[in-house]
Amino acid sequence: MPTDYSFSSQLYIDGGWTDGTSGSRTVVTNPATEEVIAEVPSASVDDVRAAVASARRAFDDGPWPRLRPAERAAVLLRMAEAMERRMSELVAVNMAEAGSVRPIAESIQTGIPVAHLRDMAERVMPAFAWERPMEPTIAGPGITQGQLRREPYGVCALVAAYNFPFFLSMMKLIPALAAGCTAVLKPAPATPLESLLIGDFADAVDLPPGVLNVVTGGVEAGQELTTNPMVDLVSFTGSDTVGRTVYAQAAASVKKVVLELGGKSASIVRADADLDGAARSALAGITVHAGQGCSLLTRTIVHESVHDELVDRIQAGLAHVQVGDPARAGTTMGPLISAAQRDRVEKLIRTGEEEGATLVAGGGRPAGLDKGHFLEPTLFTGVHNGMTIARTEIFGPVGVVIPFRTDDEAVRIANDSPYGLSGAVWSADTVTAHGIASRLRTGSVSVNVGGGVNPRAAFGGYKQSGLGREWGEFGLAEYLQTKSVSWAAR
């Protein structure tokens, strides 16, 4: 058992730690070594109900929703400080349970979420319009005036995916707590440890009991959260298939639903583009966290005049990717999360070949890695947008290159997708690039950069990529109700 990190091995309910009532355990393995690194309780439906009831009491009767925003912000700052003191531990846990290479573990997985937490407490909450006056106006027989108030939505069920466990949990928890909501957080069964650690941080800042609860579990636990009548809001990150199920389950009690779902994001590379930059971006779309990211740029749509040159540059970059255990020095791409996910990606690679795409790099398992769920970074050319590999979210280290002739054709190809989460445009003509960006039906677009995680941005999708927005003031607004309070003007 590694000794450079620790983890919580119980459920966190009503301000305390418990083994729960199911008596069963979930085994957590390192996807790079297949070694068991922890066992945690598998929450029963009764455990989830207890967590929801605790959150309900904390919201209805507890102090948290009634604190002034500045008071909540002070608690969030203390939580950020507690996380910063244990950052090396968070990084180690992430590398072990999620298979991230160190640079990703230190930045996107852990460092950026804590930066977002600080941004919420230091920038967003002090400037947010929690209330504002309604000017006097004629209403019916008299003149009224009043106030518009932003109030916490209530009890929130926060359900995160396995690929970025701490990041995704925090992107939901930060605005929920900032708004004054209470929460039940459920991580993915494969990666529960970082979310359970968040319970430690709640203890460290004396968060009132019930404000945060952390439970584990699979389908039954998730369904209890999405259908429980005491839950007011559900925020889910995961596949569009499961997202539709969550949406339907929540509809019975008309819960608010925030969904961050799949993506098949396109990067448009014009003939005048910086090909080195575009190639690095395409390489990142394939290799960052082994392609396990919903907003990664996995479709490269390139002008036919520079198609071969760009492909050569991407191939050259792929040749230098070092696949292996993230704990090993020099590794630049780690494993997929499980054998089942690797099998799924391998099946899609075979489908690409069967449908006539040209495999120009990768496609197999790396030599010499008998343990761990590894795949070679893979690139296809000869792809058209009707192929399965061009339309399906693969969630593995696979990229496709599609040629175009005109800007209109590039936009059409990019928008011809059930998804609309992210995108990019590469061109020396920035005016034209921004014009193309405005035509893309997607929640975010980067121009001549590889993307980023800016807390001042609004993150979310068009079409089947989801509902609502996360990050900063946009994420905060999702967890607030607007109330009008009116009275007679004198």
Residues marked active site are found at 260
Would you state the structure tokens that stand for residue 187, as one six-digit string?
Answer: 């991580």
Give the separation between CA 42 and CA 35, rounded to whole angstroms: 19
* Other beta carbons less than 10 A from residue 365's beta carbon: 16
**Shortest CA distance to 398 belongs to which of 290, 314, 320?**
290
Would you state the structure tokens that stand for residue 378, as one six-digit string?
Answer: 């893979």
Find out whether 212 and 177 touch, Cβ atoms under 8 Å: yes
**Shortest CA distance to 302 belongs to which of 291, 312, 317?**
312
Give the separation between CA 317 and CA 452, rounded to whole angstroms: 20
Element (H, E) at 458: none
Give the separation between CA 324 and CA 332, rounded to whole angstroms: 8
Give the separation between CA 64 and CA 264, rounded to whole angstroms: 39
Say which DSSP state 288 is in.
G
**Residue 268 CA to its chain's centroid (Å):** 23
- Pairing of β 480-488 and β 142-152: antiparallel
Find out whether 31 and 162 touch, Cβ atoms under 8 Å: no
Would you state the structure tokens that stand for residue 151, as one six-digit string?
Answer: 């109030």
For residue 383, the one-letter residue type is V
Tell me if residue 248 falls in helix, strand or coil.
Answer: helix
Beta strands of 341-479 (E only): which ranges?
358-361, 378-381, 398-404, 419-420, 423-426, 446-447, 462-463, 466-467
Give the separation between CA 399 and CA 363, rounded to whole angstroms: 11
Find out whether 234 and 258 touch, Cβ atoms under 8 Å: yes
Would you state the structure tokens that stand for residue 86, as one six-digit string?
Answer: 């244990």
Alpha-carbon distances of 128 from 80, 122, 395, 404, rounded to whole Å: 20, 11, 36, 44
The DSSP line for 104-129 is HIIIIIIIHHHHHHHHIIIIIHHHS-
Report the length, in residues, of the chain. 490
Q: What residues contact residue 435 under an 8 Å CB cut-off, 6+ apart?
A: none
Radius of gyration of the chain from Cα atoms? 23
Give the separation between CA 402 and CA 302, rounded to whole angstroms: 6
